[in-house]
């Protein structure tokens, strides 16, 4: 005969199983939460009062913003001067004159001005971001570090990888725009997230920045919507100059923003029980999956070609190599890091039980030559 389970044990076990099962929000509650996140993102994207307050309170930020405005205004004036003045003047002239005038103006004046503007603007915006971060989170947020030659190479690798990732994202957006039908709308939505990703700094690594944005996709879509809408109505160079003109302001807005929800897996964090969003609406959208995959392939190609004839294959997870490259460690630097890696590998080698016991007790090593003498 089978042994019967007491009713009290069965009820207690059933109650424990019911308590262990996750609790979900309804569909309309989840939609309402995402709608509030959209409104919060739009509200934070128009906080020009914070930009004015920050610029007027700190002279370093104010001077860099003014320099950025002047230089990018010169770039915009140069771009529209050709479109509105020079091109109509030579419109009735022969085709070779129109072609040569346009070519000379772009090569000799427009491209150098725009290139210098982008380079100097990136330097000034980096200073604005660091200074705003210090004002927002205090001096303890920025720890002084000793800059070595290897650290300088890592910094250059980090900047290069971020630039390549942004350029890859722009190329992917152009590819999405070529999709028939809904392509332009998908491309515009992707550009909203790209603009928001550029301003997500907060001292995070690449993988954490991507995860932070993809788990708050509704908020960052709305946050990047105004800048994407402004920077898509003109020509290519004009859109880039407008983006550079808005860049310092949105860096300050991003530093002072409070992305919502605070916990994407428990958006109603005020309640005692954990309630996950509805399974019908994804918590995390893989927005940058294609971009990160392309950058993984690029990093692997550069790592293979950078090694001196030694081809090694690394089977790593998605975005792991990207995070290493963004931290300056994804690309091989032979002759610089071999000694450091050798020391680290020697330090991480498994030690014997006697060595670990001596290190724990802090006993000095025994000199066997003295005992023999």
8 A C-beta contact, residue 277 and residue 267 = yes
Mean pLDDT score, 123-130: 86
pLDDT tens-place string over residues 270-297: 667 788 999 999 999 999 999 988 888 8
How many Å separate Cα 351 from the centre of its chain?
A: 40
| Secondary structure element (H or E) that encloses residue 275, with its range | strand 275-276
pLDDT-derived band at 150, boundaries 50, 70, 90:
confident
In this prediction, residue 308 carries a pLDDT of 43
pLDDT tens-place string over residues 328-357: 444 343 333 344 344 434 444 444 433 443
Q: Which residues of 239-249 are buried (b: 16+ CB within 10 A; e: fewer)?
A: bbbbbbbbbbb
Task: State yes or no: pLDDT of 39 exceeds 90.
Answer: yes
Residue indicated by tokens 């771009």: 79
Q: Quick one: DSSP state of residue 364? A: P
Beta strands in 11-164 (DSSP E): 23-24
Residue 143 to residues 138, 146, 254: CA-CA distances in angstroms? 11, 10, 21
pLDDT tens-place string over residues 72-121: 888 888 888 877 777 777 666 666 666 677 777 777 777 888 888 888 88
In this prediction, residue 61 carries a pLDDT of 93
The candidate with the shortest Cα–Cα distance to 184, out of 169, 193, 174, is 174
8 A C-beta contact, residue 131 and residue 61 = yes
The candidate with the shortest Cα–Cα distance to 238, out of 118, 80, 71, is 80
Which two three-digit tokens encode residue 58?
């700190």
Report CA dihedral (127, 165, 187, 318) to the nearest 10 degrees. Answer: -130
8 A C-beta contact, residue 117 and residue 75 = yes
8 A C-beta contact, residue 311 and residue 304 = yes
**Dist CA 331 CA 208 (whole Å):** 20
8 A C-beta contact, residue 142 and residue 134 = yes
8 A C-beta contact, residue 247 and residue 121 = yes
DSSP bridge pairs for 260: none
Residue indicated by tokens 């060595």: 355
Task: State yes or no: pLDDT of 371 exceeds 50.
Answer: no
**Dist CA 276 CA 217 (whole Å):** 16
Spatial neighbors of 61 by CB under 8 A, at least 6 apart, are: 54, 55, 128, 131, 132, 252
Residue 118 to residues 30, 77, 243: CA-CA distances in angstroms? 41, 15, 10
pLDDT-derived band at 239, boundaries 50, 70, 90:
confident
DSSP 173-210: HHHHHTSTTTHHHHHHHHHHHHHHHHH--TT--HHHHH
Residue 12 to residues 15, 19, 258, 274: CA-CA distances in angstroms? 5, 11, 43, 21
pLDDT-derived band at 18, boundaries 50, 70, 90:
low
Which two three-digit tokens encode residue 292?
């990160």
**Dist CA 246 CA 294 (whole Å):** 28
Mean pLDDT score, 138-157: 62
**Dist CA 214 CA 216 (whole Å):** 5
Q: What angle do CA 129, 132, 137 make, to 5 degrees?
A: 120
For the whole model, what pTM was predicted?
0.71
Residue 353 to residues 290, 345, 346: CA-CA distances in angstroms? 48, 19, 17
Mean pLDDT score, 51-77: 91
């Amino acid at each position: 005969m089978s042994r019967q389970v007491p009713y009290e044990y069965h009820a207690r076990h059933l109650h424990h199983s019911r308590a262990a099962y996750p609790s979900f929000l309804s569909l309309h509650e989840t939609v309402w939460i995402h709608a509030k996140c959209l409104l919060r993102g739009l509200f934070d994207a128009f906080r020009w009062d914070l930009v004015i307050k920050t610029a007027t309170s700190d002279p370093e930020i104010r001077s860099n913003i003014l320099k950025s405005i002047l230089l990018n205004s010169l770039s915009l004036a140069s771009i529209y001067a050709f479109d509105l003045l020079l091109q109509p003047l030579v419109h009735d002239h022969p085709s070779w004159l129109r072609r040569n005038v346009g070519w000379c103006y772009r090569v000799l004046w427009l491209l150098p001005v725009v290139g210098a503007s982008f380079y100097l603007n990136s330097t000034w915006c980096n200073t604005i971001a660091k200074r705003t971060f210090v004002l927002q989170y205090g001096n303890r947020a920025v720890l002084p570090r000793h800059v070595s030659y290897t650290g300088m190479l890592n910094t250059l690798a980090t900047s290069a990888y971020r630039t390549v990732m942004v350029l890859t994202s722009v190329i992917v957006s152009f590819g999405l725009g070529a999709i028939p039908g809904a392509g332009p709308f998908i491309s515009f939505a992707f550009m909203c997230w790209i603009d928001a990703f550029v301003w997500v700094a907060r001292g995070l690594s690449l993988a954490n920045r991507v995860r932070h944005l993809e788990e708050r996709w509704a908020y960052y879509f709305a946050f990047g919507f105004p800048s994407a809408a402004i920077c898509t109505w003109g020509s290519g160079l004009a859109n880039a100059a407008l983006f550079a003109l808005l860049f310092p302001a949105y860096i300050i807005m991003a530093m002072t923003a409070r992305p919502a929800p605070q916990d994407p897996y428990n958006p109603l964090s005020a309640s005692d029980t954990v309630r996950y969003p509805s399974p019908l609406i994804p918590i995390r959208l893989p927005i940058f999956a294609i971009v990160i995959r392309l950058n993984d392939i690029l990093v692997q190609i550069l790592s293979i070609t950078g090694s001196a004839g030694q081809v090694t294959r690394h089977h790593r997870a998605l975005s792991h190599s990207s995070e290493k490259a963004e931290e300056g460690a994804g690309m091989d630097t032979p002759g610089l890091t071999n000694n450091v890696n050798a020391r680290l590998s020697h330090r991480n080698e498994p030690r014997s039980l006697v060595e670990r016991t001596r290190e724990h007790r802090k006993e000095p090593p025994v000199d066997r030559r003295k005992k023999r003498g």
